[in-house]
Structure formats: C-alpha cells, structure tokens
Structure 1
Amino acid sequence: MILFYLPLMASLTPFNSPSPLLAHQYYHQPPATVDNPCNFVLTFTELSYSITKTPKSPKNKHHAENATRTLLDSISGEVKTGEVLAVLGPSGSGKTTLMDALANRIDKSSLRGSVTLNDENLHGRLLRAISAYVMQDDLLYPMLTVEETLAFAAEVRLPRAVSASKKRERVQALIDQLNLRSSAKTIIGDEGHRGVSGGERRRVSIGTCIVHDPVILFLDEPTSGLDSTSAFMVVQVLHRIARSGSIVIMSIHQPSYRILGLLDWLIVLTRGRPAYSGPPHGLPEFFKVFGNPIPDGENPVEFALDLVSWLEETAPDAVMTLVTLNAMNHEARRRTTRREPFLPLQYAVRNSISVGRLVSGAMMDATAAVPASYANPVWIEVMALTRRSMTNMWRNSKIYALSLAQVLVTGFILATNFWRLGHAPKDAYLRGVFFNTALSAIFMSTVDTLAVLIQERYIYQRETAYNAYRHSSYVIANAVTTFLPLFVLSLSLSAMTFFAVGLVGGTDGLVFFFLALLAAFWAGSGFVTFISGVFSHVVIGYTVAAASFSYFILLGGFFIHRSSIPDHWIWLHYMSLFKYCYEALMQNEFGGESSSRCFSRGMQVFDVTTMANLPTAKKQEVLAAVGKELGMLNFSEDACLITGSDVLHEQAIGQLSKWNCLLVMLAWGFFFRLLFYICLVFGSWYKRKR
C-alpha cells in the first residue's frame, strides 16, 4: 500500500497551498504575524498512550489480550508562537486525550513519545508557569461581575511588583480583547440569577486564564454548547490571543467555514491516529489524492469528519490507508519546510519576562530562567481569596439569611420549650436535654454548606492546577470566610436561649455559653469541610456527614454515659465532637459555683418516680426509713440529695475542665481543616495513568 503511494507523493508537494475555491470562500485572514519578538516552538513526536483494563475473566486468554486499548498512536506535530492548532475528530477519537498529553496531564510513565518546547523537554513546574488550561465547563463565582472576576485573576496571577493601576489597566485591556465591554458590570449568574450569555461566560473563563499572558493556551472544546455566532466570537478571540504572541491549542467538534479561516493547523483524529495533520487549506488536495475529493461548496472539515466516521464503521482498512497517506504527507512537509530559528528555552523565557509576558510568578528581572511557582506571597493570596468569597457571599445573602432564619427558629423553639427551668430534679435533667438538642441542631445545620463547598472545590482545582495560588491560601481564606457567619449564628442562638432557658452563671456564663456554641459550629463546619475534600458527590458527602454526626451524638455522653460505653466503642466516644462541647456546657451549668447548688431536696426525690402522688405523711415515713437504713440522722424533707457535682458525676463528666473541652473543640476544627488541606494537595493535580 505504501509502495502504491510513493510515486504519487513524489510528484506532490505537501498540501500547504490553498485551492482557489478555499481562498475566496473563507481564507481571508492575514498570515500569522507575531507582535512579540519572543519565539517558542512546541513540538510533539510519536505520542502514544494506552490503557489496560483488568480482564473480567483471567482464565480467558483471548479476553486478556484485548484488555489493552490504544488511545493515542504515533501522533506528531509542531506549532509555534502566533499559531492556532485545532484537534478534531469523531466522538471517542482521542481529542481530549491528546490535549491532556500535550498539557502534561498524563503521567510520564504511561505516555510514550516526547513533548518539547524549543527542543527542550518540558517539566511540570515550568509548564504550569508558562501555560494555562481552559476546561470545557465554565466554573465561575456566579455573583461576581465580569470585571470583578477578571480583577481577581489579575490580583493573584500578577505579582505585587505590578502596581494596582497597572493591574486595572490589564483588566480593562483584557475586557476589550475579549469583547466584553458591554457586559463588564454584569454578574456571571447561575440558575437562580440572570447573568451573562454562554458565549460571554466562555470568554470570561478564557480571560481568567490569560491575564498573565501565558505562552501556551490549551482549551478543551471552547465552542461546545454555543451557537454559531458565539462560537465564532470565541475562536476570533483565541485567534487574536495567538497573534499577540501565544501558542493556542484547542480541541473542537465541528468548526464552521468562518471558524476554519481562523485556524492555522488541524489534526483530524481517527481512533487515536492522525487521519490528517496540516493546514486547513491542504484538506481538498489531500482527500483528492486519497480518492474522495471534497465537493465544491462543502465545508472541508465537515466532509473530512463525516468521511472518517463512515470509514471507521465500514472500511477499517481504508482508515489505515488514510493514516498512512497522512504520515507520508507529514514527512514530506518536514523535509521541505525550513525551520525558523529560535532561542534556547532558557533565553526565550527570560526574554518573555523582560517584555512583560509570563508575569505569573516572574521574578521580574531578565536573569530569571524559570518563573517562580507563585506570583504573590501567601498573605496577598489570602486577602484576595477572602475578598472574593465575601463578595460572593454578600450578594448571595439569601442562602445565609435562610441559615440565620433556621437558627432563629431553632432558638425560638428551644426557648419556648425549655422556658425558665428551675432547680428541681426534672429541671436538672431538662437542662441536659436542652444542651443535647441545641448541639444536635448546630451540627446538623453545618451539613447544609456541603454543596457550596464541593462546587467551590471544583473552581479551586482548576485555578490551582496552574499555580494561580497556593493550596494553603485557599484553606486559610475558606476558614476566615466561614468564621464570620458562624460568629453571627452562635451569637444569635446564645442570645435567644441563655436567659430564656434560665441558665446559670450570669455574664460569665453567657460568654462561655456563646464560646461553646461557636466552638461547636467551628468544629462541625471543619468536619463538613473535610468531607467536601474527600467526596466529590454531594449526596454521598451529605450521607457520610449526617451519619457521622449521628454517631457522634449517640456516643457523645448524653444518651450513653462514658462509664456505660463498651471498650470496643470507647474510641468513638473520644473522637466525638459532641462529647467535648456537651461536657463543657454541662460543667458551665453544674460545675464551679453551681457544683454545690442543690437540685433535689427531701421529698423532691419523689417527683420523678411513681410515688409522686403519695400523701406527704407517707413520703416523710419513707424518707425517715431510708435515712435510718443509711445511718443519716438528718435525712429530712429539706436535706439536699443531688448537687451539681452529683449530676456531673452521674454522667461521668469531669475528665477535662470546661476550658480544656473548649480548646479540644477548637483543635478539632483546625485538625479537620488540616485534613482538608491534605486532601486538596493530593487530589488537585490529576494525571491520567494506565
């Protein structure tokens, strides 16, 4: 088959010259000229990637042999500064896989071949500093405006050596570059809030990634879900970005005539193999040589994709012929094309920094061979992240208003049901019931934030994948942002219930009661934050969090006292968040000066028994008999039978002081946020493996 094509290929030059038809139909764009003098060339050679599926039946050798599936097979190409490369192909052809391979999102041990920039291998740190990856889904904070979204990106991506005025100028220039001037003051929006259009939203996503002028821009299906006009405007923006001095590589489903005129190079994939790789205007001649000329007036890409899909289903041998013909054309182009000279990578990066590109983490001097990992110190990142979250939270205040309303309703119900408790034996028990109910409501209410946390985590993962800011900065900002609502909720609940229920301690008791509720909110929200880092599915996370809180409450010391918990479950008692806050509140109520307060005198002991309705004389006789039996001569109706310390002793409370219990709760909150940080670090940079 190859021998058949050799004479033909010898008589042809590579398919680089546009046909007259294509020239007047859609090739109206000027040649690729680069304003920026820095020259980068991205080359990928013989990229291959396979995955191995575990055989369902190891005994079946034939099945075991078919367990390996090739997703990429010997794909090569080159794209330089100022050019747009589009990867096309039917569904499942390997477009996203090729994008991941070029963007270093596939583990090196699983990928064969090489990806170089200026003939030097790209390592992960450098690639993350000089590139950006725009995902297919647009995940943005819905209540921020277009201008605020881009301003945040500039604040974390541009170093503090760049003045605030320069950052504002960059944002305004970016708004114009993205054609977003008319919607600059419009919020992004979501299902419940009307915002920008789908095309504008996509351009905002692109803008957040290019605020620092990356050398390489990867985009996964940037026109997916957009109408033809919006799709054209997006690609037009990408064309301008490339011409301003970037390499743009994107996967695209089916470009229109107008979009095709904005592309410099195409790679059409068929089951992981290149069916065509070259300039768009080479398509007609290529398929004419193949024996399937493109009809006049038909979109060449649509024809190519339809033909490839049809051949995959009906003539696999013809697909291999197409792949072979493309390989021969690629080799002929490589031999006949003179390669433009370029600087070694180290000097090219230095030059880019010196002219203002690669400012994300740049050391801002020409001696920097590689940009630093992050553009700003931690405190600037924390301030920017906190400001963004606060703005989004303030504008989305309905959610937090509902949380406050929930706490107020809970406080009202608790206050009216436990109104002005006295010091009878029943009231001592009801105080414990009140603490148990209040803490249970607090812990369960923190689960409601899980959906928001998981949604934010997706945004975080995309922003940190290319070093927009540190993992630690996000965790700290999340804690700071969370604390203010928790403070308000704790203050509201304590103010509504402390005096209404009749809790003891005066001002000091109220302050500690408030701190204990705040610690409960803090520890509970920390646990939910940790769960959001472990589970990406809201329903699963909600189930795990609710079940865990139920176990904490069950073994926290109210329903089952510590002395009654079996040894094989005592570990869960000490891990229970409920335990420490409950014991702190009980000691605040029944310890200290209240430890000698009497909660059961003489005949009050009968109030919680079946003898409560006996005549007073009979009760006195029973008390006298019990006193005589116990050798207590003063065992009368006025004798104190149960004090505050007796209540604590009965429930095995007292291993830790109330202040130590409070510190343990605070430590739990910090500990779970540390675990959340660990989950983010190990789960944020995903690479595909075999």
Structure 2
Amino acid sequence: MHLPKYAQNLVTTNMENPSTSANCPVTLKFEDIGYTIKIEGGGGKEQVTEKTVLNGITGAVHPGEVLAILGPSGCGKTTLLTALGGRLGGDLTGSITYNGKPFSNNMNRRTGFVTQDDHFHAHLTVTETLTCTALLRLPNILTEEQKVMHAEAVIKQLGLTKCKNNIMGGPGLRGVSGGERKRVSIGQEMLINPSLLFLDEPTSGLDSTSAQQVVSALCNFAEGERTVLMSIHQPSSRIFYMFHKVLLLSDGNTVYFGKGDATMDYFASIGYSPSVAMNPAEFLLDLANGVHIDDQKSGMPMKQELISLYKTNNDNRLEFETQQDINNKKDGDGNGFSRWNTTWVQQYKVLVKRDLKERRHETFNPLKIIQVLVGSLFIGLISLIYYFSVFWSMMPIFSSITTFPQERLMLTKERSSSMYRLSAYFVARTTSELPMELALPTMFAIITYWMGGLKPTASNFFKTLFSLLYSVLVSQGMGLAIGAAIMHLQSAITLAAILVQMFSLVGGYYNQNVPVFLSWFKYISHNYYTFRLLLASQYESDEMYLCGPNNLRCKVGDFHMIQEMGLGNVGTPIGALAVMIVGYRIIAYVALMRLGRTRKLKSQ
C-alpha cells in the first residue's frame, strides 16, 4: 500500500529525526510472556483462584513481516496481542521490547491498533470519520489541507471511494457493509503510517473474498518496512500462506512459532500430519484443541505433548537476530516526547464539530420532537408551573445518561491511540450538546407559557425561560455524572429514576410537610430550587390574588406553600443550581478518568 506523494516526502524528511519519524522500522521481541487473572468462585463462599491466560510466550517480528496469532477461542490470542500493543495491565510478566527498548510515548505515536469490534459515530460518513481521525492523529507539521488529502488518499487506497459519502451506520441504522466498516477501521490506523500495526480478528464477520482483500492490503502495507501482527481465528488456505510467521496457541501455551510456510513441515516432523488435503489453519486448530483423527490420543494429553515437543525442539525455537543494535540507532528513547500530535484547542474544535454532526440526529429526531410537543400541549392546558421543572428534570437526565456508557468503547479506543486529551473530549462533548439541549426546552416554553395564561410580559417570560434552561443544565449534568460513574446503562437508569422521584417528592409541590429526618433532602434537589425560581418569575410577596367569595383578596406571600418555599432572595437557588451545574460535571470528569489507558508493562 502506497502513501500519497506528500506523505512520502514527509517520511523522507523525518528520517533525519528518528524520534518523529512515522515509519521508522520496529523489531518487536517478546520473551517468556505470562499473564494471570483472578476468578471469584461461587457456592456462597468467596473463593479467589488464579487462571493462567498466557504461559511463557516467546517470539519476535521484524519490519516487513506479518505475524498471525492462531488458536481456538479462549486460548489467549487477544490477550497476547493487547499485551504486545502496550494496552494490558495487571499481572503481566516477561519482557517486551521495541527495538530493544520498553514501550514509550514515542512508540505509542508510531503504533496502530485495530480492535475486533468496530466503533464509529453512526451518522458520520466514511470521509468524515477518516478526516476527523486525520485531523486529530496526524502531526502539526502537516497543514489541515494536507491532513484532509491524506484521508482522501487512504480512502482511495482502501477501495472506499464508492461508499465515501455513506454513513457508517449502527444498530437500527443502515450504513456501510461489514467489509467496508473493517476497512475504515484499518484505515484509521494506516492514516498515521504506523511502524507497528496490531489487528484483533481483522477478518471476523467477512466473506472469504473480503477477508482476502483485507489481508492482502495488510501484507502490502508490511512491505514498506512495517511490522504487522494480527490475531485470526480460521483463515482460508490462501490467506494462511500470506503470513510470514505463525504463532499457534493452545490454552495460553505456544504450540508452534516460526515461518508460515514451514508450519506443516514442522508438525509432520513430530508425527502429526493430515491424512487428507485440508486447510492448514483447520488442521492447526484441531491440534490446538487436542484433536487429531489419525491419533489415538486426544484432549489434554495430546495438548501437553505438543507443548512439550515445541519446548524441546530447539530447531523451531526463535533465534534472535542481531539487528537490534542497528535498530536502536534509529530509535530515540522517547524521553520527554509529547503524547499529543495536536494542541488542546485543535482537539476541541474537531471534537465539537464531530459531536454536533452526530448529536443533531439524536436531539432532533421526530419522536423526541413529538414528545416535547405533546408534553408542552398537555402542561399548557393544565397550567401547573411545577411541571415545568418536573418535565425538564426527567428528559435531560435520561437523555444524557446514555452519553458515556454508549461511547465507552470508542472513548477507550481513541484515548489509547492518544487522539485527544480527556479534558478536550469532555469539554467538547458537554458544550456541543448545549445548543441542541436548550433548543427543545425553549420551544416548550414558548408554547406552554402563553397557553397557561402566565403573565404576558417579556420580563416574566424570560425569567421563566432562564429558570427552565438553568434547570436543564443541572439535569443534564446529573445524567452525565450518573452515566459516567456507573457505566452500566440499566443500573444507571434505575438509579436516575429513583433520584428523580425522590427529588420531585421533596421539591415543594407534592408535599410541603416533609418528615424531619428527610427535610435535608430538599436542599440537594434541583427541583426544589427550580420551583423557587419559577415561582419568583411569576409572583411577588405583596401581590394580591382572589382567595375567597365576595372578591376577597389575599397576599401571595401569605399562601402556605409560598411561605414554605419563600419568594425573596433568588440568589440562593441560583447559587445552589450553579454549584450543581459545576459539581455534577466534575463528578462525571473524575469518573471518566478511570478509563485512562494502561500501558505499563512489567519487564525483566
């Protein structure tokens, strides 16, 4: 796969400074990699056992090579790939080096990682998706126009021209095909011209032709002195013979590591060969599962024999080449190397633009507009001010509560690639929602206010609108905080429903005689403060109202609910809601920090 001319010039220029070179060749070596996880047992007793996922995996991949990690489901393919990509924490042992050095910010900038599951913004087109990636991940030595050109070149090279204006799609929304989605996912990583490219099941869900096209493109990409590693479950014969090296795993142990075209010869030399012509990958999977038609042994004894034979077969064991010293001269140590290709402001601008394109479809979908219109008509006919706060307490919460749980996987993937700072993402995500989140309640207020017969003055209307929009900002922040803190959608919605009910009950309308031990709860209820602002937007204590026969008039301030709530000093509810607006968002941000990347490897 060839780069556009200006990108080739960029690579040539950067070779003078290896620390910023986009495709400085990388030799990846891993020795005796081990990884264990803790499993909690059942039976009413807390029993914690350790399971070995990887057990002494050793190998190496050099520039220009494609390594395929094969094995049955659950054998540790994805875990190993994640560890080699610098994205696995926990009890990882062994040594992983990149040109003889540990993982660093420098190496992360030169590494691409394609996850098994493709995560995209559903309403963005192929061009928009790749352009946003280019603007965020390509260095600022390229102009914005050059970054866009780079994205267009990748679209052409990956054969995505016909679908470049199609949306990516998602659940319930038709978009590009599975093969096209996979190529877009790969294209996002190829944009940065990585020296080291990891792919987790890149052919999963593709037909044989599409799978071959993807692997062929990856092999072409490796020819430019790139190092490519992929996990793959059951490739076709044609795909299998494209691999330069093969690593076969069984229950976290190495059964074979070596050249792809020597695989069958190795197993024949130790007494395992198929009796009929068959796909080599199928034969290897049978062996890794402990199944061999022509052998009396099967299951665990056979697996242990294959593992033992590999360990004692020195001819097949890896011999580390002597290129390390040469490669080390090309590779800087990465100390002090910046994590980010772009500035905070650039990241914010790109993310806001992306979020606005995506969110407009969610906010202004017909069902939500109908919901607001119907709600405004009913509340306008009933004319109850408190329902202003109730209606716009629930909608923003349940709308924003899904934001971070739905984007968790995408956020983790993009942050792992150092696309942007968490702060830039968070500020862009929250501010991009404001115009759309405030548009519908404004429409609601325009309809409901005049239908309800409230004071027909501009001053009173804008006071009411301010109170309503202020409440929306609090409710939105509350939804973001709950969603970010729990990250499990069903649990988050359940908690939000409970809090909404409790806040509504103590908000001052349904019950003015709250028990003493619960009276404090109203002071953390945004419904309480919103209701106070809405009352103040319409009434004053000295105003008179009809309160009995014979045109009897009473002061508004003497009404028992008004006395309980209070009309004076609107600064208190404004200040309390301001604290909630900021506080909920701080909680959400701190909760998102848990999703930070884990790249530290335990080296020996």
Same fold, judged at TM 0.5 (above): yes
Q: Deviations over 1:368-408 (max 9, x none)?
A: 756411111222111111111111234x3685343232222
Shift of 1:44: 0.5
Corresponding residue for 1:51? 37
Q: Deviations over 1:524-583 (max 9, x none)?
A: 11111122212333322222212211111111222233xx33343233211111111111
Which of 96, 111, 115 matches 2:92? 111
Mapped contact 1:648–1:654 kept (Cα < 8 A): no
- Superposition map of 1:127-206 within 5 A: 127-206=107-186
1:216 paired to 2:199: no
The code of the aligned residue for 1:53 comes to I
Shift of 1:75: 0.5
Give, in whole Å, the separation in 1 of the partners of 2:336 and 2:584.
Answer: 35
Which of 427, 437, 440 matches 1:486? 437
State, as a whole percentage, how many aligned pairs show the same letter: 28
- Superposition map of 1:298-377 within 5 A: 298-311=278-291, 314-329=298-313, 333-335=317-319, 338-343=321-326, 345=328, 347-349=330-332, 371-377=337-343
Which region of structure 1 is more displaced relative to structure 2, 482-491 or 240-249?
240-249
237 and 657 in structure 1: CA distance in 2 versus 1, 3 angstrom threshold: farther
Which of 392, 416, 421 matches 1:465? 416
1:514 paired to 2:465: yes
- Superposition map of 1:670-681 within 5 A: 670-681=582-593
174 and 555 in structure 1: CA distance in 2 versus 1, 3 angstrom threshold: same
Which region of structure 1 is more displaced relative to structure 2, 324-333 or 282-291?
324-333
| Secondary structure, counterpart of 1:485 in structure 2 | helix
214 and 569 in structure 1: CA distance in 2 versus 1, 3 angstrom threshold: farther
- Superposition map of 1:223-622 within 5 A: 223-295=203-275, 297-311=277-291, 314-329=298-313, 333-335=317-319, 338-343=321-326, 345=328, 347-349=330-332, 371-394=337-360, 396=361, 399-418=364-383, 434-446=384-396, 447-451=398-402, 453-504=404-455, 506-561=457-512, 564-591=513-540, 595-601=541-547, 603-604=548-549
Shift of 1:126: 4.2
Which region of structure 1 is more displaced relative to structure 2, 226-235 or 40-49?
226-235
| Secondary structure, counterpart of 2:365 in structure 1 | helix
| Secondary structure, counterpart of 1:91 in structure 2 | coil
246 and 539 in structure 1: CA distance in 2 versus 1, 3 angstrom threshold: same
Give, in whole Å, the separation in 1 of the partners of 2:38 and 2:166.
Answer: 48
| Secondary structure, counterpart of 1:120 in structure 2 | coil
| Secondary structure, counterpart of 2:25 in structure 1 | coil
Give, in whole Å, the separation in 2 of the partners of 1:583 and 1:533.
Answer: 29
The code of the aligned residue for 1:668 comes to M
| Secondary structure, counterpart of 1:491 in structure 2 | helix
535 and 236 in structure 1: CA distance in 2 versus 1, 3 angstrom threshold: farther
Corresponding residue for 2:11? none
Which of 622, 647, 653 matches 2:559? 647
Which of 657, 670, 683 matches 2:569? 657
Mapped contact 1:129–1:371 kept (Cα < 8 A): no
Unaligned runs of 5+ in 2: 1-20
- Superposition map of 1:63-142 within 5 A: 67-107=49-89, 110-123=91-104, 125-142=105-122
| Secondary structure, counterpart of 2:405 in structure 1 | helix
Mapped contact 2:289–2:303 kept (Cα < 8 A): no
Give, in whole Å, the separation in 1 of the partners of 2:364 and 2:23.
Answer: 50
Mapped contact 2:359–2:433 kept (Cα < 8 A): no
The code of the aligned residue for 2:54 comes to L
| Secondary structure, counterpart of 2:78 in structure 1 | helix
Q: Deviations over 1:603-626 (max 9, x none)?
A: 44xxxxxxxxxxxxxxxxxxxxxx
Shift of 1:342: 4.4
Unaligned runs of 5+ in 1: 1-34, 351-367, 419-433, 605-636
Corresponding residue for 1:361? none
The code of the aligned residue for 2:301 comes to D
Shift of 1:323: 1.5
Mapped contact 2:257–2:318 kept (Cα < 8 A): no
Give, in whole Å, the separation in 2 of the partners of 1:314 and 1:328.
Answer: 21
Corresponding residue for 2:4? none
Q: Deviations over 1:289-328 (max 9, x none)?
A: 1111245642222111112213499242332221232234
Mapped contact 2:287–2:303 kept (Cα < 8 A): no
Aligned residues: 577
Q: Deviations over 1:427-473 (max 9, x none)?
A: xxxxxxx1222221112222144445532333222111221111111
The code of the aligned residue for 1:114 comes to S
Corresponding residue for 1:634? none
The code of the aligned residue for 1:244 comes to G
TM-score by length of 1: 0.78
Give, in whole Å, the separation in 1 of the partners of 2:179 and 2:337.
Answer: 32
| Secondary structure, counterpart of 2:176 in structure 1 | coil
Q: Looking at CA atoms only, which structure, 1 or 2, has the larger radius of gyration?
A: 1
Q: Deviations over 1:126-182 (max 9, x none)?
A: 443332322111110111111110000011112333112211221122112322122
Q: Deviations over 1:85-110 (max 9, x none)?
A: 111111111111212221233325x1
402 and 83 in structure 1: CA distance in 2 versus 1, 3 angstrom threshold: same
322 and 471 in structure 1: CA distance in 2 versus 1, 3 angstrom threshold: same
The code of the aligned residue for 1:119 comes to G
Give, in whole Å, the separation in 2 of the partners of 1:688 and 1:91.
Answer: 26
Give, in whole Å, the separation in 2 of the partners of 1:101 and 1:676.
Answer: 29
327 and 660 in structure 1: CA distance in 2 versus 1, 3 angstrom threshold: same
